[in-house]
Amino acid sequence: MSLPPLKLSSPAKVNLSLRVLGKREDGFHTVETRMCPISLADEVTVTLKGSGETVLTCSDPTIPTNESNLALKALHAFEQRLGSTSSWDIHLEKRVPHGAGLGGGSSNAATVLLAANELSGTPFSTSELSAIAAEIGSDVPFFLHRKPCDATGRGEVVTPVEHFPWRLPLVLLKPPFGIPTPWAYKRWKESKELPGVTYAAQLCAWGEMVNDLERPVFEKWTMLPTLKTWLLDQPETQAALMSGSGSTVFAVTRSAADAGLLAERARTLCGETTHVFVAETL
């Protein structure tokens, strides 16, 4: 007999800071980053079936549901570590855009790990799940914690932030294109700053906001520095930054009401091709 389906939120994230420290021998880069989960989230439903094939479905037809999907990779890594296989149904109800620097695929993978662990009787601790998660992707361990975290290494060494009392109101702008993360890191060292664009760390009550990947990404995708500069010029904005390797640029506003006002203005400016989201950090 199959167990009842387990439905979990799969939150996106923003990087409040991202420093690239250098390239490692394994080809990855050493980073220091602070990530926060946000209220913009997918919904992941996982069912442990009695029999049959494992099936992954997704509300977004542009997202592959084959072995390239991180959600399936997570499930297979979980079963390999467990030493047994079962039959599962996984459904992804997508709200987080992909190619956005918001960690949607990594979050789905972590959420599948949490669900599979619960439905299997909790065979693994959080640290054991983190080891599985690190095999799937650099950001996946962070999403197991569901709270602000600092990450080092290639992003997989995660430490929850002890004291983070802020729930930051956010406006996110996602243009109609994605940025390949490997490309951004590859171009990091050789890239140059564009004149008139703010790259310096913005000092805020919750810490500095800076992203070293803005330099290579802004060089090629010039719409993004235009959006960031516009956000910084708005009276509601406390700070603005690109998240991860892009393409999302976001603003931290002074209040939730200000986020609503800024989002309306952004929708008028950007039109229908750029998605505008209002959210907050969790």
Determine the pLDDT at residue 114.
99
Confidence class of residue 188 from pLDDT cuts 50, 70 and 90?
very high
Q: Is 148 helix (H, G, I), strand (E, B) or coil?
A: coil
Q: Is 75 helix (H, G, I), strand (E, B) or coil?
A: helix
Q: Is 109 annotated as a binding residue?
A: no
Query: Mean pLDDT across the stretch 71-93?
Result: 97
Of the residues 13, 94, 174, 228, only one is catalytic, namely: 13
The active-site residue out of 42, 73, 139, 212 is 139
User: pLDDT confidence of 236, banded at 50, 70, 90?
Assistant: very high
Look up 174 and say whether it is catalytic: no
Average pLDDT over residues 29-44: 98
Strands (E), the chain: 6-23, 29-49, 55-58, 87-93, 149-152, 157-160, 169-174, 202-204, 207-211, 237-242, 249-253, 275-280
Closest CA to 107 of 172, 37, 46, 156: 37
Q: Give residue 90's pLDDT.
A: 98
Q: What is the DSSP letter of 262?
A: H
Q: How far apart are CA 149 and CA 158, in angstroms?
A: 6
β-pairing, 202-204 vs 169-174, is unpaired
**260 known ligand binder:** no
**Confidence label for 266 from pLDDT (cuts 50, 70 and 90):** very high
What are 151's strand-pairing partners? 33, 158
Q: Is 104 annotated as a binding residue?
A: yes
Specify the range with the lowest mean pLDDT, choosing from 48-52, 85-89, 128-132, 255-259. Answer: 48-52
How many helices (H) and strands (E) are present in the chain, helices listed first? Answer: 8, 12
Instruction: Decide if pLDDT at 182 tops 80.
Output: yes
What proportions of the chain, in percent to the nearest 5, are helix, strand and coil? 30, 30, 40
- Side-by-side strand order, sheet with 249-253: 237-242, 249-253, 169-174, 275-280
Task: Give 1's pLDDT tier (boundaries 50, 70, 90).
Answer: low
| Residue 101 labeled ligand binder | yes
**Rounded (10°) angle between helices 70-82 and 126-136:** 130
Domains along the sequence of the chain with CATH: 6-160 (3.30.230.10), 169-280 (3.30.70.890)
How high is the pLDDT of residue 13? 99
Question: Is 99 among the annotated ligand-binding positions?
Answer: yes
Give the length of the chain: 282
Is residue 26 among the annotated active site residues?
no
Contact 110, 76 (CB under 8 A): no
